[in-house]
Amino acid sequence: MAGRRVVIIGAGVVGAALADELSAKGWDDVTVVDQGPVPVTGGSSSHAPGLVFQTNPSKTMTEMARYTVEKFSALGCFLQVGGLEVATTPGRLAELRRRHGWATAWGVEGRLLTPAECVALHSLLDPGRVLGGFFVPTDGLAKAVDAVDIQLRLARERGVRVLERHEVRGIRVEDDRVAAVVTDRGEIPADLVVCCAGIWGPKIADLVGMALPLTPLAHQLAWTGPVPALRGQAEEAVRPILRHQDADLYYRERADRLGIGFYGHRPMPVRPADILPVEAAEVMPSVLPFTAGDFAPAWAETQALLPATREAEIEEGINGLFSFTTDNMPLLGESPQVKGFWVAEAVWVTHSAGVARAMAEWLVDGHCSSFDLHECDVNRFEPHQLAPDYVLTRAAQNFVEVYDIIHPLQPPENLRPLRVSPFHARQRELGACFLEAGGWERPQWYGANAPLLEGRDIPEPDGWAARHWSPIVGAEAQASRESVALYDMSALKRIEVSGPGAVAFLRRLSTGDIGRPVGSVTYCLLLDADGGIRSDITVARLGRDLFQVGANGNLDLDWLHRHLPADGSVVVRDITAGTCCVGVWGPRARDLMEPLAGADFSRDGFGYFRGRRGHVGTVPVTALRLSYIGELGWELYTTADLGAKLWDTLWEEGQSHGIIAGGRGAFSSLRLEKGYRAFGTDMTCEHDPYEAGLGFAVRQAGEDDFIGRAALRERRASVRRRLTCLTIDGSAAVVMGKEPVYDGDTCVGYVTSAAYGHTIGKGIAYAWLPAALSTPGQALRIGYFDRRIAAVVAEEPLYDPAMKRLRG
């Protein structure tokens, strides 16, 4: 494919894989440039131990790892010896059952093992230390340097140029678009530049003014001398790669020696600017001197778990640099400031080929069809998450926690509080238990609501689900359906879209009928070109050329900015920080609002999915008649400086109506009872509206087009899977999400969101299932640790299907 000049910076395992994938798709003007010698360039790929464990809580990361295994196996640079994770504590044993559930849900074959079965697979283990294990036979060892060599050879055969020993010193930009890569040996013209520079990524990105939230951290890898129990072993590896996560350790063989990787030492961050040049490094730039004192606990624990190592010594070791991010996910995508500058960063060998495939599809086709990339998009971050102190602190903490057992609701302990709503002081006075999302402090429940428990029977979940939980959650949920509750919704992204071209702009980007009269509110979707869901949004028309968009995060803002017309007819502005939002919801919401608002808040005077501006007491507000919990009510928006006054006004008036403050725990339960979907959890870019049960949000009339419309016509005709509601009877147990769903002994899908429905008295789980199994009444089972919980497909919504309460 002529006409697109591509320069890939970095010939490590990611850059090499991308060159291979791009050239395989027909792009014939690709140049790979690296400061080091190829294939041992001196970056992380050159010293990577190569262990590939595919199982990950992220479906996307697991699928990328699986593709890497398949590709490297076909190329002959992968030793499929299997991967064994062992437990030495009851907590880890339970965690391995959860990991087995992830693997099963994401389509990776694995099995749980007894202690004897673990020892049979890895004879060096002390049988007295091991409580059980999890084994994936398709895991193994990637030969990273060989992978670089082979993929670059294939790329060269298709015409790709590989320029080694070329140091990148600049990137020439013209009219906010890349024009060339400047090296110490001259310029390389470019229409697209993809930074695959690994630990040097922030340094390269800085050349175009892009802040890349990546921190290189040193990680210890040591090699023993000959281990007598391995004497005579000629093959590189016979036993499975091994993880002992209770002690932050992993192991791999190299003939009669063992490699020992350790994450239990202090974080050792390095500034990209301080990494030595290739010619100045004693070994290679990514290898720092081994600090034996830091490794001492690892060696002691190794000798306890693998007694045969007591007859060996540590012969060599390194502190090798690897890339860490603030959320442990890769950084993929195009710079928001400079067109044509792309990054594929913070990618380890495990996911390298998968990431390269995703990037090649994105660059060539305009979207990625193989993987959902919303967790990896480099533009997902809020501005505070790009602050150097934030990047360093969170990356170092992620290093410490890399093998820790992390609960889905577990909030970070450092850098808090960062973002608080104007209601925060009042929430603290009410005894709020705060969790965190996107930097926001969000109440999960309120201690002041403990008296609501009197006379209520709130089922208690089991140990795992009971973490970050209180029976107050159930009481708040029930009380919200009885009286009126205030829910802090300030963490939702709010975007103002204005200008004479705003209507046409929003109609082009969204599936909704945006052109309705002023005062209308529209629920709709943002789609990719292939019809996949990028986000769900609400669009309120507040004036002829003025709209307020309720979005899901910074990716929505980025998407809007990227599609702005060049004529300046549309202005997009993030107004989140300067505003706040409180949901006033419940059957007595109108009783509360009418005396305060003055305007007509009657059923006929303020209809469902309508919006208007007015006042609550002395506070100017934008009121939208929406409810995320399925009850009568409004979202009230005002400026941040008046937020506390708005809360106080509502709270004082609400005392005679039984007002409460509700937390996120109750909110999650109530939204699932009503069947409301959450983007990023229930549906992602890999799903279309008809599969997700959101076909009603797609406009059919009109000749004007919207992004993804053509693809939807084809997808609508063949819906093979559906987001389906399941209920769980007879137990207070609630699953947490990402569990496998079984029809008999066959895994047929996976859970997305789950909670206990305190109104309906049942557990609720939404799951992706084959369309043939989504019929109400279908009996299924959900894998939950070591149990199979009976569930049944239910008609949705479970609560108020006639919409009488919501529209009342």
Model confidence over 119-169: pLDDT tens digits? 999 999 999 999 999 999 999 999 999 999 999 999 999 999 999 999 999
Which one is catalytic: 34, 67, 244, 250?
250
Q: How much is the average pLDDT of 764-775?
A: 98
Question: Looking at the predicted structure, is the pLDDT value of residue 2 above 60?
Answer: no
Decide if 536 is catalytic: yes
Query: Which of 566-580, 617-631, 708-722, 744-758 is predicted with the least confidence, judged by mean pLDDT?
Result: 708-722
Q: How much is the average pLDDT of 748-756?
A: 97
Scanning the structure block, which residue is given the tokens 């309906």? 760
Model confidence over 649-697: pLDDT tens digits? 999 999 999 999 999 999 999 999 999 999 999 999 999 999 999 999 9
- The whole-number pLDDT of residue 704 equals 77
Please, which residues have CB within 8 angstroms of residue 449's CB and are 6 or more apart in sequence? 430, 472, 475, 476, 479, 660, 661
Q: How much is the average pLDDT of 397-425?
A: 96
Scanning the structure block, which residue is given the tokens 């559906």? 722
Model confidence over 229-259: pLDDT tens digits? 999 999 999 999 999 999 999 999 999 999 9
- The whole-number pLDDT of residue 716 equals 86
How far apart, in Å, are the Cα atoms of 148 and each of 155, 322, 357? 10, 17, 15
- The whole-number pLDDT of residue 742 equals 98
Alpha helix segments (H runs only) across 206-318: 292-305
Model confidence over 596-637: pLDDT tens digits? 998 788 888 899 999 999 999 999 999 999 999 999 999 999
Share of the chain above pLDDT 70, in %: 99
Question: Mean pLDDT over all residues of the chain?
Answer: 96
Decide if 784 is catalytic: no
Q: Is 740 helix (H, G, I), strand (E, B) or coil?
A: strand
Nearest CA among 437, 527, 449 for reference residue 710: 527
Decide if 446 is catalytic: no
- The whole-number pLDDT of residue 598 equals 81
Model confidence over 23-49: pLDDT tens digits? 999 999 999 999 999 999 999 999 999
- The whole-number pLDDT of residue 3 equals 61
Share of the chain above pLDDT 90, in %: 95
- The whole-number pLDDT of residue 714 equals 87
Contact yes or no for 148/16 (Cβ under 8 A): yes
- The whole-number pLDDT of residue 731 equals 61
For 699, the token pair is 């406009």
Q: 0.95 exceeded by the pTM?
A: yes
Question: Looking at the predicted structure, is the pLDDT value of residue 456 above 60?
Answer: yes
CA-based torsion, 421, 424, 426, 427: positive or negative: positive
Question: Looking at the predicted structure, is the pLDDT value of residue 80 above 60?
Answer: yes
- The whole-number pLDDT of residue 703 equals 67
Question: Looking at the predicted structure, is the pLDDT value of residue 363 above 70?
Answer: yes
Contact yes or no for 6/191 (Cβ under 8 A): yes
Nearest CA among 384, 261, 345 for reference residue 18: 345
Nearest CA among 533, 540, 579, 577 for reference residue 555: 533
- The whole-number pLDDT of residue 531 equals 96
Rounded to 5°, angle at Cα 395 from 389 and 401: 135
Model confidence over 312-325: pLDDT tens digits? 999 999 999 999 99
| Number of helices followed by number of strands (H, E) in the chain | 17, 40
The amino acid at residue 556 is D
Which one is catalytic: 219, 265, 374, 758?
219
Which one is catalytic: 488, 536, 556, 682?
536
